[in-house]
Amino acid sequence: MKILRRKFLQGAASAAALPALTQTAWALDYPTRPVHMIVGYPPGITPDIVTRLIAQSLSERLGQQFITDNRPGASSNIATEFVVRSPPDGYTLLTLTSTNTINSTLFEKLNFDLIRDIAPVAGLLRSANVLEVNPSVPVQTLPEFIAYCKANPGKINYASAGSGSATNVAGELFKSMTGIDMVHVPYRSSYIPDLVAGQVQASISPIAQMIGFIRAGKMRALAVTGAKRSDALPGIPTVSEFVPGYEAYVWDAVGAPANTPKEIIDKLHDAIGVALADPATKARFADLGAEPMVMTPAELGSYLVAETAKWAKVIKASGIKPE
């Protein structure tokens, strides 16, 4: 009887292990068909450009087509919800951006929870912003700008890409940490023409958007918002050199539906890591005023939590509401 019982238990254990072994074998064969990388923005802007670049590399390295699938709308929430509701099989991925962590607090009734429902895969790109002013503003440095704003409360209008956008929350964080009074002017379309014309006086913008105007002398860069100075704007200090602790990045990363097998996530992460190490990729990112954001899935998960908490404080303190 003992022998029969032992054989029964061994058989039961083998049967229990079979689904895990089958899943692992299936994951190791991944991908066996095209993979869709969902982007919550229209073609031609940074998340789309970066996704297409990485998709091409993944197609070459993993032997299946990685398709950039643009699904813009609702500040990228439409794309995020689509991925959240997709099967966790690695064939539907999401291009995450800094906006996703802002949206977690900005929108009160989302049909998903970013931290719970999206599995982090890999970082892609990170770029500091640049705080720039129209040359008509009589300042040359960041300390002069802060002093000017304090001496002229409400006279400086700062533009953003919309209420609750990354450029808006970066501006509100700057206001709260310096104690200055700037007037927020949200735009539904590009604010750059009005900024260059002097209709609005300042903005905190992605470096890639403004670097041409800065080099041409049409805008004056005062500081960059990263933890270190940017190679794209040598000689321009960081905000944190004068406002300790200030930091605001725009970034892109890759996520998958929660419960996607670890073997698939690891395979994608490793392939993306090879792409990010490619000198051609680094050069293209440098053209965008950015650098690779190399993170393990665990590190990216912690980063998403930290960014969500950071911008939640800004949104609640400033009373930002979605448009």
Q: Which of 186, 206, 241 is the last residue of a domain?
A: 241
pLDDT at residue 20 is higher than 70: no
Same structural domain, 112 and 258: yes
Query: With the CA atoms of 214, 192, 151 and 239 taken in that order, what torsion angle do they form, in degrees rounded to the nearest 10?
Result: -50
80 and 220 both lie in a single domain = no
Span 259-287, average pLDDT = 95
CATH number for position 40 = 3.40.190.150
Query: Which residues constitute the domain of residue 218?
Result: 128-241
Strands (E) across the chain are located at: 35-39, 66-70, 92-97, 118-133, 157-160, 183-186, 202-206, 220-224, 249-257, 291-292
Same domain, 114 and 17: yes
Is position 223 within any domain? Answer: yes
**pLDDT tier, 22 (very low <50, low <70, confident <90, very high otherwise):** low
What amino acid is encoded at 208 in this protein?
A: A
Distance of CA 142 to CAs 161, 173, 182, Å? Answer: 22, 15, 14
Residue 27 has pLDDT above 90, yes or no: no
pLDDT over 90 percentage in the chain = 84
Please tell me the predicted confidence (pLDDT) of residue 323.
Answer: 77
Q: How many domains does the chain have?
A: 2
State whether 71 and 217 are in the same domain.
no
Virtual torsion, Cα 195, 201, 206, 212, nearest 10 deg: 50
Does 227 share its domain with 254?
Answer: no
Q: Are residues 189 and 231 in the same domain?
A: yes
Q: Which of 190, 215, 241 is the last residue of a domain?
A: 241
Domain boundary among 197, 217, 241: 241
* Statement: the pTM of the whole predicted model exceeds 0.85: yes
Q: Do 237 and 165 share a domain, yes or no?
A: yes
Looking at residue 8, its pLDDT comes to 45
Based on the domain organization, do 190 and 200 belong to the same domain?
yes
CA 298-301-306 angle, 5° bins: 130
- Residue 99 · residue 76 · CB < 8 Å: yes
Q: How much is the mean pLDDT over the chain?
A: 92
**Residue 5 counted as domain residue:** no
Confirm whether 2 is domain-assigned.
no
- The mean-pLDDT minimum among 98-102, 185-189, 314-318 falls in 185-189
Comparing 14-28, 108-122, 285-299, which segment has the lowest mean pLDDT? 14-28
Q: Are residues 284 and 296 in the same domain?
A: yes
Asked if 257 and 211 sit in the same domain, the reply is no
232 and 135, same domain (yes or no): yes
- How confident is the model over 71-129, as pLDDT tens digits? 999 999 999 999 999 999 999 999 999 999 999 999 989 999 999 999 999 999 999 99
- Rounded mean pLDDT of 166-190? 95
In a domain, 3, yes or no: no
Residue at 1 is within a domain: no
The domain spanning residue 226 has which CATH number?
Answer: 3.40.190.10
Opening angle at CA 53, ends 102 and 66, nearest 5: 90
Could you tell me if residue 75 is inside a domain?
A: yes
Residues 109 and 133 in one domain: no
pLDDT tens, 34-82? 999 999 999 988 899 999 999 999 999 999 999 999 999 999 999 999 9
Quick check: is 313 in a domain?
yes
Q: Please report whether residue 287 resides in a domain.
A: yes
> Does the pLDDT of residue 26 top 90, yes or no?
no
The amino acid occupying position 77 is N
- Residue 31 tokens read as 């991908």
Is the pLDDT score of 278 beyond 50? yes
